[in-house]
Amino acid sequence: MPGLGTIILALVIIIIIIILLSCICIVPQASAWVIESLGKYRDTWHAGLHLKVPILYRVTKKVSLKEQVADFEPQPVITKDNVTMRVDSVVFFYIFDPKAFAYGVERPVAAIENLSATTLRNIIGSMTLDETLTSRDDINGRITAILDEATDKWGIKVSRVEVKNIEPPKSIQDAMEKQMKAEREKREAILTAEGKKQSAITLAEGEKQAAILKAEAVKEQRIREAEGEAQALLAVQQAKAEAIRLINEANPGDGYIKLKSFETAEVMANGQATKLIVPSDIANLAGTIAALKESAK
């Protein structure tokens, strides 16, 4: 059986080991611990292994260095033209100085919320309803600049502020919806009129082009017909000339001339004339034709 002294020594050793283990501190990544010594600020421990002096050192505050998001409740604000609306915003921030964050202000997130609300009221109070609804980027930039400057002494960096929602009164919403509906109907009427106008112009252009093409086709047809008739007449005259030439070259006798005279008389008899005068001496007529032929040579 071990003696009492041995048991006490073992207990002392165990206590010493527990104390030593409790003095070993491991700070996680993206974190910082604020250390005090006898009630005063001592140091800021960042990620890694640290040794703490028992009794003398105390971890006052554990700070996360990650970017944080603060989503605040909607705030009632009044615009320059006396319209009351509710606006809620979201603030993105991170802590860059753990010491200033620990000792700068009590309840830093609540301080940011109150500062954001008052800044939002001041900015929107200098703007009309229409300017507020169409200038979100400007509002976001101005709030971010003001909050970032004010929170520097608290060790907080405001990276951006976003106006999440702007809710006008119900009457204003109804009026805006009616206005938008009227604008849509106006644009629809304009587009319909433009469509009808373009359709009429296109139809008129098509009819114009069709008329031009039809006139061109008629013109071309008449030209071709005239050319065909001219060529036909020319062919007939050339055929007659060729026939006369062949007859002249053949030196026809009186019998042939008499025969042609009888054929001519027959043709004349088949016409519309009611009277037909035939020379008494048709042979003399043939002789006259032959004389004329000789004189034409």
- Return the higher-pLDDT residue of 255 and 155: 155
CA distance 278 to 284: 12
Does 263 have pLDDT greater than 70?
no
pLDDT level of residue 296 (50, 70, 90 thresholds): very low
Does 237 have pLDDT greater than 90?
no
CA distance 26 to 36: 17
Identify the DSSP state of 30.
T
H/E element holding 99?
A: helix 98-104
Tens digit of each residue's pLDDT (9 = 90 or more) over 83-116: 888 888 899 999 999 999 999 888 888 999 999 9
CA distance 154 to 103: 8
Length of the chain: 297
pLDDT level of residue 281 (50, 70, 90 thresholds): low
pLDDT for the residue numbered 295: 47
CA distance 207 to 198: 14
pLDDT for the residue numbered 157: 94
Tens digit of each residue's pLDDT (9 = 90 or more) over 53-80: 888 888 899 999 999 999 888 888 888 8
Does 10 have pLDDT greater than 50?
yes
H/E element holding 11?
A: helix 4-23
Question: Mean pLDDT, to the nearest integer, of 141-169?
Answer: 90
Task: Take residue 92 and report the two structure tokens written for it.
Answer: 């993105």
Pair 84, 76: CB distance under 8 Å: yes
H/E element holding 225?
A: helix 170-250
Task: Take residue 189 and report the two structure tokens written for it.
Answer: 């009427």
pLDDT for the residue numbered 81: 84
CA distance 116 to 228: 97
pLDDT level of residue 267 (50, 70, 90 thresholds): low
CA distance 175 to 20: 72
Look at 45-54, 143-152, 180-189, 271-280 and tell me which has the smallest mean pLDDT: 271-280
- Return the higher-pLDDT residue of 215 and 296: 215
CA distance 75 to 286: 132
Average pLDDT over all residues of the chain: 81
pLDDT for the residue numbered 91: 93
CA distance 47 to 27: 5
Question: Mean pLDDT, to the nearest integer, of 136-140?
Answer: 89
Tens digit of each residue's pLDDT (9 = 90 or more) over 28-56: 999 999 999 888 999 999 999 888 888 88
pLDDT for the residue numbered 104: 87
Pair 241, 248: CB distance under 8 Å: no
pLDDT level of residue 234 (50, 70, 90 thresholds): confident
* Among candidate residues 235, 245, 75, the one with its CA nearest the CA of residue 161: 75
CA distance 175 to 181: 10
Pair 176, 168: CB distance under 8 Å: yes
pLDDT for the residue numbered 63: 92
Q: What is the CA radius of gyration of the chain?
A: 59
pLDDT for the residue numbered 75: 85
Does 18 have pLDDT greater than 90?
no
Pair 286, 257: CB distance under 8 Å: yes
